[in-house]
């Protein structure tokens, strides 16, 4: 098998350093692959100078800067990650306002959250200010160039609204973020996710699962975009309160570390107007740089953690996936009016 790998350099023992899987190659036989060497007449430069990398016609400044000291991951590794998984990620970004988490000096430095455009935001779309009156324009990322440009601007995380641009005030999904408190083990969180799924199923709602890229799991429920944010948020809060009331030994509906020692807080707050959730396939600005990976429910018991995949391993995993575990999500629309009555 022939694969393409980006890497930092060769070690003295002829191994490659900081390898990142880019894809499988079918255009050459393995016997044709040799280590390329510079021709003798090509002189080396007198001084070593970092030259900006270019990908998708976007110049990448400081490509070798380490953004995650715990792994040695560089800025160019993040850029290549987003470039390589764009075909999977863009459908989750399409037609949704996006907020960005930027890390100009790496994930251990100062981070800042950006919802509105700056003077120069190459390839990113500036939305109509009328979508959110009395606020600056919102942003959208809807192309590979925009994704790569964002990474060039030190964007690590992409967070999306629960509504689309066309019906900005009517969410087409709600998200329940299973956030483990101190003392919660991974098997406990897996059980909590399954219980959440059962609860939603009892209300007549089908749900989809993804890792958070951090410690938790996200349960995503697509809905018909008819109700406003206040009604949808109130319903998601009612679901969480019901679970905390029925299984108080496992769940808590109140924020705060003191309230959830050994328990799981199901975060419903991100379902309000203007609130966002880490997009599927987004990297997270945490040591290891885990990514939020969509998975099938029957994979739940096989998962080892919320950050099981990272920007170094996600692309290889995806290259072997023949089916989208969220294939049914895209056309699923569910009214929650009956569920609201059942819960009441």
| Distance (Å, whole) CA 338 – CA 344 | 10
Q: How far apart are CA 251 and CA 192, in angstroms?
A: 8
Average pLDDT of the chain?
89
82 and 151 Cβ atoms separated by less than 8 Å = yes
The model's pTM is 0.83
Taking alpha carbons only, the member of 147, 125, 128 closest to residue 136 is: 128
Domain borders along the chain are 2-31+53-165, 167-343
pLDDT, tens digit (0-9, with 9 covering 90-100), for 207-238: 999 999 999 999 999 999 999 999 999 999 99
Q: State the average pLDDT over residues 259-272.
A: 91
Instruction: Pinpoint the alpha helices (H) of the chain.
Output: 75-84, 86-93, 144-152, 186-202, 229-246, 314-319, 337-343
Q: Which residue has the higher pLDDT, 325 or 6?
A: 325
Count of beta carbons in the 10 Å neighbourhood of residue 24: 12
d(CA 184, CA 4): 40
Domain 2-31+53-165 carries which CATH code?
Answer: 3.90.920.10
Average pLDDT, integer, range 139-163: 96
Model confidence at 180: pLDDT above 60: yes
CATH topology of domain 167-343: DNA primase, PRIM domain (3.90.920)
Q: For residues 3 and 49, which has the higher predicted lDDT (pLDDT)?
A: 3
Over the stretch 16-61, which tens digit does the pLDDT of each residue have?
766 777 777 777 788 778 776 544 433 333 334 444 566 667 889 9
Where would I find the H helices in 163-255?
A: 186-202, 229-246
pLDDT of residue 57: 74
Tell me whether the CATH fold assigned to 2-31+53-165 matches the one assigned to 167-343.
Answer: yes
């Amino acid at each position: 098998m022939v694969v393409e790998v980006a890497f930092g350099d060769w070690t003295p023992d002829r191994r490659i350093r900081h390898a990142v899987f880019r894809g499988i190659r079918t255009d050459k036989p393995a016997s044709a692959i040799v280590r390329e060497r510079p021709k003798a007449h090509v002189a080396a430069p007198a001084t070593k100078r970092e030259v900006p990398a270019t990908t998708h016609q976007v110049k990448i400044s400081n490509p070798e800067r380490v953004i995650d000291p715990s792994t040695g991951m560089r800025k160019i590794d993040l850029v290549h990650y987003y470039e390589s998984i764009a075909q999977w990620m863009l459908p989750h970004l399409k037609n949704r306002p996006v907020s960005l988490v930027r890390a100009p000096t790496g994930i251990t430095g100062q981070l800042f959250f950006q919802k509105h455009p700056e003077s120069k935001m190459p390839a990113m779309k500036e939305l109509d200010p009328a979508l959110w009156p009395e606020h600056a324009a919102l942003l959208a990322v809807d192309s590979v160039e925009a994704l790569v440009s964002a990474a060039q601007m030190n964007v690590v995380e992409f967070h999306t609204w629960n509504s689309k641009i066309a019906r900005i005030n009517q969410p087409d999904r709600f998200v329940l973020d299973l956030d483990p408190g101190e003392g919660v083990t991974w098997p406990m969180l897996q059980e909590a996710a399954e219980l959440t799924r059962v609860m939603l199923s009892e209300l007549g709602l089908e749900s989809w699962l993804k890792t958070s890229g951090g410690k938790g799991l996200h349960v995503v429920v697509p809905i018909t975009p008819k109700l406003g944010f206040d009604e949808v948020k109130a319903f998601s809060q009612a679901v969480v309160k019901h679970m905390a009331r029925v299984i108080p030994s496992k769940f808590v509906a109140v924020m705060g570390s003191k309230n959830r020692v050994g328990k799981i807080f199901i975060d419903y707050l991100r379902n309000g107007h203007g609130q966002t959730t880490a997009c599927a396939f987004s990297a997270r600005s945490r040591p290891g740089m885990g990514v939020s990976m969509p998975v099938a429910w029957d994979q739940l018991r096989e998962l080892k953690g919320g950050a099981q995949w990272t920007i170094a391993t996600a692309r290889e995993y995806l290259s072997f996936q023949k089916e989208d575990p969220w294939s049914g999500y895209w056309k699923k629309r569910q009214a929650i009016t009956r569920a609201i009555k059942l819960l009441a």
